[in-house]
Structure 1
């Protein structure tokens, strides 16, 4: 059986003049979904750079267009890594003397597994059995007053370091991708409460965004929710991942 998903998204500008967040959902034809998976991504352009909105939108556009053209022999992580490294170079070269900066969290669901590529301070959670688990790290400075200053982002450094996470999917679980305009205003307890009270994904996404601005968020607010309705069959790529984890024979 093929992987079955439901998803919803919401984004609001809030008090800012421009929405510099970007969301992308790619649901390809069944054959391509089986081999390359479904792609979901969120990006939050850095407002202090030349054009944060352009940085966020161009990054997700490049991912959506190029990921499905990568060789079948590449793993999901390898494909995302190479594409985001190329986009990092593009952002550095096209800022008119200033770098174009954005955060990005890209999630691929294929067969029975997920792969996450992440840099910056958007957050990715897993919501399952009424338990909220954060699976991404905030790449910000720990010093007082610096908690919202990025130390890692796309376009920030020539040498881009991405976080990767790979794991097994679970029936009924939901992946929650949020910009910092949502999670910083609400906190994990309120996010979990909204997900518990709003089983409908569209309602939950809208409520998360609206609640963030009602709570005083001065930033753009965006939410992307993906629910696993039925886990799919293991693909050849999944089998190769398992083989790589086996010890070498004597």
Structure 2
């Protein structure tokens, strides 16, 4: 564990213990060059918790002139880049982004060749073990197997197109095309699982049942050794991989031979007492009053007190004013509450935006559980709304643009805020918007860490929450978009949408009974296109809303012609004078013809 990880060991709750044994082997076989590449990384400490362990096996396509380079680039760059992605990201997003960039790079390198198949092309199979799950990423004809309870199961499928009995070709691979289609699977782990990865130089020489027999025999022969000494298994795994590769060569393999074997020894603890013991390693600070000190902070004022937390104005050693947030002693024995409080600090240190409050205590040791933020002079957005019943539309759009920028900073880290409301948004004296609360955030990377805690499924404030959040459906970025639209509606009109009845909704039928009241009926100065944009963002079905918050803000600022009820109330002469005069001319022409006939 690095010094940094030791220092911030308590920043992330539920640092579960995942123990993995691993071994690997690769040899050129009968070929002159080894075009296979393998790599395993099992980090320590927080990195193992937030990112997991990675095993990668690649087979450079023999027809490609840069096959050896392609496979080695794929292994080394994937492992390095994956661990460089934000730890708030889930495995699927982090690995997908890395693979997309890696594929484009290999494809670009291969453009010096007339045929892409002769460039930088390689198969790719990876397993990422995080918490109690294995994540498989696969393209090509390398393979991944799972051995559980004496049975071997192939968990990947070969991307091969067969022309005839003697000819087949690789349908998918890294570097083969600018677009990449990767198979992704998530599998639940069990202790004593084994995961086997091979290249075709190995598995083409065995049936699945033969591989299962070889692995079963090895497990039976080494069981006693593993029970006597845990570490002996590390050597056994590597020896098995070598044995399997040599056996493939003996059977007549004409390709490079590579193999990896990983065994799940211990999964993160699911015992609530173990979790609570870890979470409660730091004591709660006592209630503080003016003049008291906590570590190097002198308390100057009590800014906020509630049943759940306290916020104090304090001065640090340099004389700078800061804010301290401490947990309430009412929740001293509540592990889920402690976890969420710790996550507030953890999230705050990872969200960087001029429109999100900044945390200041990252590198300072603490004697108790609390965190420190910058002190902001200003007022909650709720106060601004009450003081500005008839705001300038341009001013509202300017503030919303800042707010969306802060929300987007959360979404870039695959984090949902889930409690956007005017009371959680501060407007500074300089006119800058700041999001100041992280207590309800959903972090994809943390959600993947298994816990025995019963977490709150419904977070946020009912007046501003999206229907899917209240109903317990899957929530996405469009949930925050809905909340942002509610705030925009309130800023423009001084009232909540749907006549303020969102908070009363508990069922799907309740939401279906809601009636949208156009905001221009509450504020006649609001243009029609803004109302149409708000109406779409406030759709009860998230699929009908904008794709993301930036699209919503863009639409608010783009005047467009919208045909709605108000337009049809205007005379035809004003709405479409060409049609009016054509109709008038036709009417008089017909009238003239009728008069001539009668005469």
TM-score range, shorter chain: over 0.9
Structure with more of its chain in strand, by fraction: 1
Alignment of 1:110-149 (within 5 A): 110-145=130-165, 148-149=168-169
Is it true that 1:73 corresponds to 2:73 in the alignment? Answer: no
How far residue 247 of structure 1 moved from its aligned partner, in angstroms, is 3.6
Distance 2:104 2:166 in 1: 26
Alignment of 1:201-212 (within 5 A): 201-212=237-248
Residue of structure 2 equivalent to 1:193 = 213
* RMSD of aligned alpha carbons: 2.1
Is it true that 1:177 corresponds to 2:177 in the alignment? Answer: no
How far residue 142 of structure 1 moved from its aligned partner, in angstroms, is 3.1
Distance 2:85 2:102 in 1: 15
Q: 1:142-187: per-residue Cα shift (whole Å, max 9, x none)?
A: 3324664100000111110000000210110100000010000122
- Aligned residues of 1:186 and 1:211 also touching (Cα < 8 A): no
Distance 1:147 1:59 in 2: 26
How far residue 11 of structure 1 moved from its aligned partner, in angstroms, is 1.1
- Aligned residues of 2:51 and 2:130 also touching (Cα < 8 A): yes
How far residue 114 of structure 1 moved from its aligned partner, in angstroms, is 0.9
Is it true that 1:30 corresponds to 2:45 in the alignment? Answer: yes
- Aligned residues of 1:14 and 1:221 also touching (Cα < 8 A): yes
Distance 2:259 2:72 in 1: 15
Is it true that 1:89 corresponds to 2:104 in the alignment? Answer: yes
Q: 1:105-145: per-residue Cα shift (whole Å, max 9, x none)?
A: 11100111110110000000000111000000100003324
Match of 1:58 among 69, 73, 76: 73
Match of 1:39 among 54, 58, 82: 54
Distance 1:146 1:38 in 2: 39
Give the gaps of 5 or more residues in structure 1. Answer: none
What secondary structure sits across from 2:137 in the alignment? Answer: strand
Structure 1 residue runs of 4+, over 2 Å off? 145-148, 233-237, 246-250
Distance 2:150 2:163 in 1: 33
Distance 1:33 1:212 in 2: 33
Residue of structure 2 equivalent to 1:156 = 176
- Aligned residues of 2:25 and 2:260 also touching (Cα < 8 A): yes
Most deviating of 56-65 and 230-239: 230-239
Residue of structure 1 equivalent to 2:261 = 225
What secondary structure sits across from 1:143 in the alignment? Answer: strand
What secondary structure sits across from 1:55 in the alignment? Answer: helix
Q: Which has the larger radius of gyration?
A: 2
Alignment of 1:235-250 (within 5 A): 236-238=446-448, 247-248=473-474, 250=508
What secondary structure sits across from 1:70 in the alignment? Answer: coil
Residue of structure 1 equivalent to 2:387 = none
Most deviating of 208-217 and 136-145: 136-145
Distance 2:167 2:267 in 1: 37
What secondary structure sits across from 1:194 in the alignment? Answer: helix
Q: 1:76-133: per-residue Cα shift (whole Å, max 9, x none)?
A: 0111111111111111111362231000011100111110110000000000111000
Give the gaps of 5 or more residues in structure 2. Answer: 1-15, 114-118, 220-235, 271-444, 451-456, 458-467, 475-506, 509-599
- Aligned residues of 1:11 and 1:222 also touching (Cα < 8 A): yes
- Aligned residues of 1:176 and 1:225 also touching (Cα < 8 A): yes
Q: 1:6 to 1:148 in 2, by over 3 A?
A: farther
Q: 1:148 to 1:124 in 2, by over 3 A?
A: farther
Distance 2:36 2:125 in 1: 12
Q: 1:168-212: per-residue Cα shift (whole Å, max 9, x none)?
A: 101101000000100001221221111011123223211210111
Distance 2:172 2:151 in 1: 28
Structure with more of its chain in helix, by fraction: 2
Residue of structure 2 equivalent to 1:105 = 125
What secondary structure sits across from 1:66 in the alignment? Answer: helix
Q: 1:203-223: per-residue Cα shift (whole Å, max 9, x none)?
A: 321121011111111000100
Larger RCO (CA under 8 A, 6+ residues apart)? 1
What secondary structure sits across from 1:226 in the alignment? Answer: strand
